[in-house]
Amino acid sequence: MRRLWVVLAVFSVLAVCGCSRSQSSASTDVLAASAPPASTPAASEYPPGEEIIASGPIVVENQLDVAAQRDGVIANVSADTGTVVRKGQVLAQMDDRQLAADHRAAEAKLEAIAADVKNWDAEVKVLEADLSRSRKMWDAQLITKEQLDHAEYKVVADRYELEREQHSYVNQQNVVRSLELELEKTSIVAPFDGVVARRYIRSGQRVASGERLFWVTAMTPLRVKFSLPERYAGRVRTGDAIEVSAGESLEVKHTAKVIQISPVIDPSSGTIEVLAEIVGRAAGLRPGMTAHIRIAQPQ
C-alpha cells in the first residue's frame, strides 16, 4: 500500500513539471509573436530636400597661350596686359623685311614665267599654222616627207616647252603662296575675342618658334567646373539650376545651368565632373576664381 502511494506521488510531481514547461513555452511563443518586427533601412540613403555643396574654379571655353609660329625678332608690341582685343587683331609684329623682299622677288619671277607661258603658247600656234601649210604642200607634192616630219616634230617639241613653262608657273605660284604664309606668321594676332591676361615679350626680343608670347583669355561665357562624389551620379542632370557665389561677396548669388556631366566616374577619385554655365550678367565674377556651388534637391 505504501509503495502505491509513493508511485502516485512521483507521477503527480512529473505532471506538474510538464505543465510548467508547456506554459513557459506557450508564453515565449506569444511574446515572440507580439514583438514588433525589426526596423528596416530607409528606401533612400539620402533624405529628400538635401542640399549638395561643392566648389570649383570659374573657367571659360577659350583660354590659351599665343605662341610664335617662326623664329624672328619682335619689331613692336601693340597690346599689353589688360588690353581688350578682337579676333584677328594684331598683338605684336615681327621684323619681316627679309621675307617681304623674298616675296617681291618671287612675285617678279612669277610674272616672268607667266610671260614665258604666253610666248610659248604663241610659238606653238605659229608652228601649228606652219604644219598645216606643210601638209597642204606635201599633198601637192611640193615638199619632201622629211620637211613635213620636221614641221611636225617642231610642233611637238614646242608643246612640251609650253607644258614645262606651265608647270613652272604653278610651282612659282606655290612659292609665292608659301612666302605669303610666312609673312602672315610674322603678325601675332588674337585667336578670339577676349583680353590679354599676360604679356611675355618686349620689343627687340628674339623669339623661337613655339615660344609663348601672350596669354589671351575670353571673358564670356563664364562656366564653373566642379566634382561630386559618385553617390550623386543620377541626382544631378543636364539643365538643372544651381546657385553660385564667389569672391568676397558670398552673399551675392548667381544662377547657372548644368550643361555637361561626365558620363563616367573617375576611378582614381571616385567622382564625377560637372560643368555649368552662368546665366545672365555675372558682375564680380572672373575666370580663375573659386566658386561655391549649392544644388538644392527637391522635397
The answer, yes or no, to whether residue 33 has pLDDT greater than 80, is no
- Cα–Cα–Cα angle for 214, 220, 224, nearest 5°? 100
User: Interior CA angle at 27 toward 25 and 33, to 5°?
Assistant: 105
206 Cβ contact list (under 8 Å, min separation 6): 71, 72, 73, 74
Taking the model in full, what pTM does it have?
0.67
pLDDT at residue 14 in the model: 45
Average pLDDT over residues 112-118: 96
Given a contact cutoff of 8 angstroms between Cβ atoms, the answer to whether 67 and 211 are in contact is: yes
3-state secondary structure of 30: helix
Residue with cell 571673358: 219
Q: Quick one: pLDDT band at residue 148, thresholds 50, 70, 90?
A: very high
Find out whether 289 and 247 touch, Cβ atoms under 8 Å: yes
For residue 35, give the amino acid letter: A
Mean pLDDT, the chain, rounded, equals 83
Residue 140 has pLDDT above 80, yes or no: yes
In the chain, what is the straight-line distance between the N-terminal and C-terminal CA atoms, in Å?
86
What was the pLDDT predicted at 13? Answer: 42
